[in-house]
């Protein structure tokens, strides 16, 4: 299933993410794509808040990953600096996937190495604070009612 939504603010983008997060469980991988500044980290922050994370949610561009404690553990990866994943690099990332819901920004760099995404999210600038969001999942029930 593929759904397309429009949001008019960062708060609305976070609300969409929160509705999705309520349906996720440990082991799920959500890829989050889009150009710089399109709201990827904002989306992840909204999901984290819905999952009970109270710590600041920031982009892990320079640290590669953050692990947050909430009602379930949440991992937030950013592969922006990667051009691919070597076996050694995958070894560094693999623990983030243990017993957590995982959000991966810039997943294109991990193509072929990352576990299959349960949901693929794409964000695009739509002028000002507006964003166009596309969510894709093979699990139709996961996306029903999100929009």
- The pLDDT score that the predictor gives to residue 125 is 95
Per-residue tokens: 108? 């294109």
Residue 138 pLDDT level (bands cut at 50, 70, 90): very high
Contact 101, 74 (CB under 8 A): yes
> What is the CB neighbour count within 10 angstroms for residue 119?
22
- The pLDDT score that the predictor gives to residue 22 is 96
Is the pLDDT at 121 greater than 90? The verdict is: yes
- The pLDDT score that the predictor gives to residue 75 is 98
| C-alpha span between 28 and 105 (Å, rounded) | 14
Is the pLDDT at 61 greater than 80? The verdict is: no
Contact 60, 66 (CB under 8 A): yes
- The pLDDT score that the predictor gives to residue 82 is 85
- The pLDDT score that the predictor gives to residue 147 is 78
pLDDT digits (tens, 9 = 90+) for 72-119: 999 999 999 888 878 888 888 999 999 999 999 999 989 888 999 999
Contact 57, 50 (CB under 8 A): no
pLDDT digits (tens, 9 = 90+) for 16-57: 999 999 999 999 999 999 999 999 999 999 999 999 999 999
Domain coordinates in residue numbering, the chain: 2-143
CATH of domain 2-143: 3.40.50.300
The stretches of the chain forming alpha helices (DSSP H) are: 10-21, 40-50, 87-93, 140-143
- The pLDDT score that the predictor gives to residue 63 is 84
């Amino acid at each position: 299933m593929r759904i397309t939504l429009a949001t008019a603010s960062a708060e609305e983008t976070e609300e969409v993410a929160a509705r999705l997060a309520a349906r996720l469980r440990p082991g799920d991988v959500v890829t989050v794509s889009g150009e710089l500044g399109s709201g990827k980290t904002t989306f992840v922050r909204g999901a984290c808040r819905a999952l009970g994370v109270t710590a600041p949610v920031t982009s892990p561009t320079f640290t590669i990953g953050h692990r947050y404690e909430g009602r379930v553990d949440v991992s937030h990866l950013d592969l922006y600096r990667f051009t691919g994943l070597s076996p050694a690099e995958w070894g560094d990332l693999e623990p983030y996937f243990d017993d957590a819901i995982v959000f991966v920004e810039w997943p294109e760099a991990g193509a072929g190495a990352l576990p299959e995404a349960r949901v693929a999210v794409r964000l695009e600038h739509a002028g000002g604070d507006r964003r166009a969001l596309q969510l894709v999942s093979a699990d139709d029930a996961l996306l029903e009612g999100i929009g």
